[in-house]
Structure 1
Amino acid sequence: MDKSQVVRIQRQTKGRKGKGVTVLFDLPQQSDLLADYASQLRKICGVGGAVKDGTIELQGDQREKAKLWLEQRGFKVKLAGG
């Protein structure tokens, strides 16, 4: 697992009927690990979410909580986009 890679966190609303989601890009591409991370992030943020195409999606604007959680696990995090 490569934690030196920068994880990007972005808020998206396009194509979601105005509902915002937080999307985490560039995480290690291991499906069991992504599912575990998504589960833990959903619990910490208290929201729903899913793993799609190698990214984790969380409902609502969860950028700060997700950033803090990933940094505690040794990832470098960059907030991207709007």
Structure 2
Amino acid sequence: MSDWKKRLGVLYSTNPDYEYTTESEEELPTLAPEHQKLRLSLSRKQRGGKEVTLVTGFVGTTADLEALGKTLRQRCGVGGSAKDGEIIIQGDQRPKLLSILHSLGYRQAR
């Protein structure tokens, strides 16, 4: 995200020494795969009736979430995204995702 987007709604300051500070959310360290408690679910909400598989419950950094999302999308051969702490995979991919997650070491995926 660009720096200017963090400053939306901030008034102009005439103080030449003023430095804008943002409230940054501290990311949790990424848990090992065997300690992650991921959940697989099917959703059609707000998607025009199309099915997507949601992978929720990931604890870790945004970069690690995006990397896992990319791996899952590539192995399933479909599109999707990773944002807001969940991975969205197009279509009903639950059986395939379950086997992929188990092969990656995520033992508690259900």
User: TM (normalized to structure 1)?
Assistant: 0.86
Structure holding more strand per residue: 1
Unaligned runs of 5+ in 2: 1-30
Matching residue within 40, 48, 62 for 1:9: 40
Distance 1:7 1:17 in 2: 26
Unaligned runs of 5+ in 1: none
Distance 2:39 2:71 in 1: 18
Structure 1 residue 77 and structure 2 residue 102: aligned?
A: no
Distance 1:5 1:50 in 2: 19
Equivalences, count: 78
Distance 1:13 1:32 in 2: 26
Aligned partner letter, 1:42: R
Q: CA RMSD in A?
A: 1.2
Listed as ranges, the matches of 1:35-54 within 5 Å are 35-54=66-85
The percentage of aligned residue pairs carrying the same residue is: 36
Secondary structure in structure 2 of the residue aligned to 1:11: strand
User: Displaced runs of 4+ in structure 1, greater than 4 A?
Assistant: none
